[in-house]
A and B are shown apart, each in its own frame.
Chain A
Amino acid sequence: MPGQEVSLRETYGKTLVELGKENSDIVVLDADLSRSTMTCFFAREFPNRFFDCGIAEQNMVGIAAGLAASGKIPFASTFAVFVLGRCFDQIRMSIAQPGFNVKLVATHCGISVGEDGASHQSIEDLSLVGSLPGFTVIVPADAIETAQAVRVAAATRGPFYIRLPRPKLPLVYNEDYRFNLGKAVTMRSGKRATIMAIGTMVTAAVEAANNLAREGIDCRVLNMPTLKPVDEVSVIKAATETGAIVTAEEHLEHGGLGSIIARVVARHRPVPMEMVAIKDTYAQSGKPAELLQRYGLTAKDIEQAVREVIKRKEW
C-alpha cells in the first residue's frame, strides 16, 4: 500500500528471478556486488545464467554486449558510479553504437547512498547515459514501478539504463499501477505550476504540492519515470496549462531531468523554470536525510522553488 517503504533493489532482484523463469534467454551479470544490487537472487536460482565478472566493470559491459549479439537478454548490474564512471567508452561503442539489447541496471545512485561519500555518489550518470543516442533511460519512483520497468526493459529491444537508489522508498503506487514506457504520470492535478520529479524526489514533490495547496498554490505533479525518450507531449501540455515548471532530481543540475525538460520547454513553449538539483558540486558523507537537506533536495526546497517560479509567470 502507498507509503510503505520497500527496497527497489530487492524488487529488481526478485523480478529478475521471475523473468528468468519465463525466459531462458535472460542472463545476468554483476561485478562483485551481487549482494548489494540483489542480482544474488538470480544467481542462486540460475547459476548457469549468472556471470560474476569480478571487480572488472568494463569487461562486464563488453561481455554483456557479446551475449546480446548472440541473442541473449543480458541484465548487467553494479553501482551507478562504476558502470557509467568507469565504462562510458565501453557502453558507447560496444552497446550504444550497435544498439545492442543490453539492460544496465545501476543501483546506489545519487547522494542518498549516504555515508560512503562523494566517490560513491553517482550524480553525473543521467547526464552521461542520456547523451548516448538510442539509450532508453528509466528512473523508477518506487518498487512497484521498478518491477514493471524491469519487465518492460526485458520485453523491449534496445539498450536500457535503469537507475535505482540504495535506500528503501515509500510506495507511491498501488499494485494496479501500469508503467507506460515514455509516458509521464500525473500524481496530482493543478494549475499554478507543474512539479516534475524522478526517482527519490517523487515523494518529496507530492509532499511539497500538498503543503503548497494549503497556501492556496495549486500544483500539478508529474512523475517522469522515462527520462529518455522524454514525454514531450506532457511537458508541453504542462508548460501551456500551468505556465511554470519546477524539476526535482537527485542528480547534478547539469544534464539531468531539469536540462532535458528545459530543452523541450525552450523549444516548444518557453515558461519560467526552476531546477531542484545538485548545484555543480560534490557532496560528502552523511545520513541520506542530512545530505538531501544540505544539498537542497527536500520538499521544502521544492516548495521554495515553486514560490520563486510563479513570481516570474507572465500570467
Chain B
Amino acid sequence: MLLSEMGNSLPKASADNVSAEAFSSPVAETRKLSVKEMEAIAKRLRRHIISMTGRAGSGHPGGSLSAVEIVTALYFWVLKHKPSDSCWSDRDRFILSKGHAAPLLYATLAECGYFPVDELTSLRRFNTRLQGHTDCLLTPGVEMTAGTLGQGLSFAIGAALAGRLDSRKYRVYVLLGDGECDEGQVWEGAMAAAHFKLDNLVVIVDNNGQQIDGWNREVMNLEPFAKKWQAFGWRVIEVDGHDLAQLTQAFDRAKLVKGQPVAIIAHTIKGKGVSFMENNPDFHGKAPNAEEVEIALKELE
C-alpha cells in the first residue's frame, strides 16, 4: 500500500503530541518528538556519522546516512524503550540487520542516553564498546551481533515468536539494506514471517538503490521489489525514507495491520545529506578524509 492511499485518521507527528514528561524522564517508554525536533536530531546523527567514521579512518558512512530518518523515527517516535534499562523485557526490539550501519545505531543510542555521546569517538578503536560491526554483548541497546548480511530478519522472527508465546505486547522492527536482500536467507525469513502471521514484526528496507559494486539494478536486480514482498504475504507500505512525517505515519499504520507482517520500503539516497557522498557507492565502506569531514560538517550545519 502506498502512503498516499492511507486515510487521514492517523495522528500526525507534531509538537502537540509531545508531552513534557516524555522529555524530562530519562526512562520514558516512548519519546514522541515533533518532526521538527526529529529533523534536528537527524542532522546531529549525520554529523556524528561523519565525525566518527572520519576519526576512525574506516567504516560505512553511505548506508548509515541513508537510514538516518528511518532510525530517528524509530527511536524518537515509535519504539517503547528505556535507555536506562536496555534489557527491559517489554521493550520494542530494533534489530539492525545491515550491521555495517553501526555508526548510525551508535549515534542514535548515544543521543537517546544509552551511553555518553563522548564515547562515539572510540568507534572501531582497540578495546572500544563500539565495534566496527554491531556486537550485542558490548554495546548497551544493541540487540543483535551483526555484520554478515541476511541474518537479521530470522533473528527478528525469533524475537517476535517469543513475544507472542509470552503474550508480551512488544513489537519487533528490523532494518534491512536493499542490497542485503540479495541474500537467500532474507527470503526464507520473508516466507516464514508471513507463514507464522507475525503482525508484531515490521521490516524496514533502506532502499537506497546501491550496493558496493554499483546500482542494484546493474549488480543484481531486485525489482519488482515491493511485489516480491507482497507475493511473500507481506503488507507493503512505500515511503520517502527521508520524510519523517511519512515515516511516522507508516509506522503508525503498520501497528494497525493484523494477521500479517509489514514491510516498509523506504526510498532513500545513499550518502544522504553530504553532496559528494550522495549516490556515490565509493562511500559505502570508505571513511571521509580530514578535508572531506570538514566539507561534510559544513554542509550539515
A residues whose Cβ falls under 8 Å from a Cβ of B? 27, 48-49, 51, 53-54, 56, 58-72, 74, 89-90, 93-94, 97-99
Bound-state CA distance A71–B87 (Å) is 11
B195 CB contacts on chain A under 8 angstroms? 54
User: What CA separation (Å) do A286 and B248 show in the bound complex?
Assistant: 61
Q: What are 23 contact pairs spanning A and B, CB under 8 A?
A: A53-B192, A54-B195, A58-B151, A58-B188, A59-B154, A59-B185, A61-B154, A62-B151, A62-B155, A63-B154, A63-B161, A64-B158, A65-B158, A67-B159, A68-B158, A69-B136, A72-B158, A72-B162, A74-B158, A89-B148, A93-B148, A98-B136, A98-B145
Contact between chains at B196 and A65 (CB < 8 Å):
no
B52 at the interface (CB under 8 A from A): no
When C-beta atoms are compared, the residue in chain B nearest to A58 turns out to be: B185
The tally of CB-CB contacts under 8 A between chains A and B is 106
Question: In the bound complex, do residue A59 and residue B192 qualify as a contact, i.e. CB atoms below 8 Å apart?
Answer: yes
B213 CB → nearest A CB, Å: 20
Given contacts A58-B185, A97-B135, contact A67 B154 (CB under 8 A): no
Chain A's closest residue to B170 (CB) is A70
Minimum CB distance partner of A67 in chain B: B158
B interface bracket (residues with beta carbon within 8 Å of A): 20 to 34
The interface residues of chain B lying within 8 Å CB-to-CB of A27 are 161, 165
Q: Residue-by-residue, is B25-69 near A (CB-CB < 8 Å gives 1, otherwise 0)?
A: 000000000000000000000000000000000000000000000
Give complex CA distance A23, B147 in Å.
Answer: 33
- In the complex, the answer to whether B153 meets A62 with C-beta atoms within 8 Å is yes
Give the complex CA separation of A49 and B196 in angstroms.
12
Q: Counting chain A CB atoms within 10 Å of each CB, which of B148, B155, B184 scores highest? A: B155
Q: Which of B107-165 contact A (CB under 8 A)?
A: 135-137, 143-148, 150-151, 153-163, 165
CB of B17 within 8 A of chain A? no
- What are the nearest 10 A-B pairs in CB distance? A66-B158, A62-B154, A70-B162, A59-B188, A56-B188, A66-B155, A67-B158, A63-B158, A66-B159, A58-B185
Write out the residue numbers on chain B whose beta carbons fall within 8 Å of the beta carbon of A59.
154, 157, 185, 188-189, 192
Instruction: Tell me the dominant secondary structure on chain B's binding face.
Output: helix
A51-B196, A63-B192, A71-B89 known; A94+B155 contact, CB < 8 A: yes
Report which residue of A62, A66, A67 has the largest number of chain B beta carbons within 10 angstroms of its beta carbon. Answer: A66
Whether a CB of chain A sits under 8 angstroms from the CB of B226 is no
Q: Contacting B155 at CB < 8 Å: which of A48, A56, A63?
A: A63
- Bound complex: CA A59 to CA B158 (Å): 10
Contacts A59-B188, A93-B147; is A69 near B135 (CB within 8 Å)? Answer: no
Query: Interface on B for A, CB 8 Å cutoff?
Result: 89, 135-137, 143-148, 150-151, 153-163, 165-166, 184-185, 188-189, 191-192, 195-196
**Main secondary structure on A side of the interface with B:** helix
**CA–CA, A296 to B143, complex, Å?**
47
Across-interface contacts of A54 in B (CB, < 8 A)? 188, 191-192, 195
Least Cβ–Cβ distance between B163 and chain A, in angstroms: 7
Q: What's the minimum C-beta distance from A92 to chain B, rounded to whole angstroms?
A: 8
Given contacts A58-B154, A69-B158, 10 further A-B contacts (CB under 8 A): A54-B188, A54-B191, A56-B191, A60-B154, A63-B158, A69-B144, A93-B146, A93-B148, A94-B155, A98-B137
* Residues in B neighbouring A64, C-beta threshold 8 A: 158
Kindly list chain A residues whose C-beta atoms are within 8 Å of the C-beta of B160.
Answer: 66
Chain B proximity of A73: nearest CB distance (Å): 11
Interface centre among B136, B157, B166, B184 (most CB of A within 10 A): B157
Which chain B residues border A67 with CB–CB below 8 Å? 158-159, 161-162
